[in-house]
Amino acid sequence: MHLLIDNSNTLTKFALDLGGELSEWRGVIPTLDLSRTSVQNTLHGRTFEKVTLCSVVPDASNLIRSTLDQPIHHISHHSKMPITIDYPNPSKIGADRLANATAAILDCQGPAIVIDFGTAVTFDVLSKAGSYLGGVIAPGTASLRDYLHQKTALLPAIQLEEPNSAIGRSTEEAMQVGAVIGYRGLIREILNEVRLELGGEPKIFATGGDAELIGKGINDIDIIDQDLTMKGIQVIGTLNH
């Protein structure tokens, strides 16, 4: 039994690899709430022999490693992966981006672009030969949503949802248009430029918390898969334990 951990800035997610299939059971802890107790409570009753950790939060990673007794593989550019890396400083590539690229290349063999709608939105680009080339980092949707409320006296906090019209008939509706429809414009423009430079017909994947909301309005996206990162963690862990 193989425990998979996706430790991001916002959430830390747990799943089990059941001989090549992801378990239906999932554990989730807000990363700010991580502690030895919260991890132990989440994993209570789960049996596993090894752990693969994908982390972009060093302090949280250290806490997890100190809590678990099983052998842990911590994903990095040193990990065995089904991709090669063509990037000037591989140590600066986030573990989650390597996991996303791994899952994508197993699906299509390249070229590919993975968009991860997390705290930041990231684009990861794979060549036709399956080599990681680099990508794009932009503010996530929460940054746009929260910044206006925090930095202005009269604009309210909102929850992101699909606007009914491109012309907002209230302050909240106007903010929804900017945050959702406007954000899709950012994604499309980055995609257009990356595809022009990459060439070919890359398969485009989306994952992350806002992938469903934003992605459903972007026809260029081929696959929306909320398990994409975890699938990549599973593959890398299997190759390295």
The pLDDT of residue 158 is 85
The boundaries of the domain holding residue 161 are 85-227
Minimal CA–CA distance to 36: which of 60, 55, 9, 4?
60
Percentage with pLDDT > 90 across the chain? 81
154 and 132 in a common domain: yes
How does pLDDT run across 40-69, given as a tens digit for each residue? 999 998 999 999 999 999 999 999 999 999
Cα separation values, 41 from 38, 63, 182, 194, 218, Å: 5, 14, 41, 43, 39
Q: What does the pLDDT average to over 79-84?
A: 97
Q: Model confidence at 232, in pLDDT bands (50, 70, 90)?
A: very high
How does pLDDT run across 137-168, given as a tens digit for each residue? 999 888 777 888 888 888 888 888 899 999 99
**6, 17, 96, 124: which is the annotated catalytic residue?**
96
How does pLDDT run across 14-45, given as a tens digit for each residue? 999 998 899 999 999 999 999 999 999 999 98
How does pLDDT run across 171-198, given as a tens digit for each residue? 889 988 988 999 999 999 999 999 999 9
Residue 28 falls within a domain, yes or no? yes
Euclidean distance between CA atoms 240 and 181, whole angstroms: 42
Alpha helices in the chain (DSSP H): 36-43, 58-67, 95-108, 141-151, 171-176, 182-198, 211-215, 228-240
| Cα angle value 107/91/78 (rounded, 5°) | 60
How does pLDDT run across 98-114, given as a tens digit for each residue? 999 999 999 998 799 99
Q: Model confidence at 115, in pLDDT bands (50, 70, 90)?
A: very high
Residue 37 falls within a domain, yes or no? yes
Residue 239 falls within a domain, yes or no? no
Query: Where is average pLDDT lowest: 77-81, 108-112, 222-226, 234-238?
Result: 108-112
To the query of whether residue 96 is one of the catalytic residues in this protein, the response is yes
Residue 237 falls within a domain, yes or no? no
The pLDDT of residue 110 is 79
In what helix (H) or strand (E) does residue 224 lie, and over which residues does it extend? Answer: strand 223-224
Q: Among 74, 101, 127, give the residue marking a domain's end.
A: 74
Here the tokens at position 75 are: 């994903």
Instruction: Strands of 105-163 (E only): list them.
Output: 112-117, 120-126, 131-139
CATH number assigned to the domain comprising residue 3: 3.30.420.40
Q: What does the pLDDT average to over 194-213?
A: 94
| Residues contacting 239, CB < 8 A, separation 6+ | 79, 80, 81, 82
Here the tokens at position 201 are: 């017909």
Instruction: Count the domains in the chain.
Output: 2
Minimal CA–CA distance to 207: which of 69, 11, 53?
11
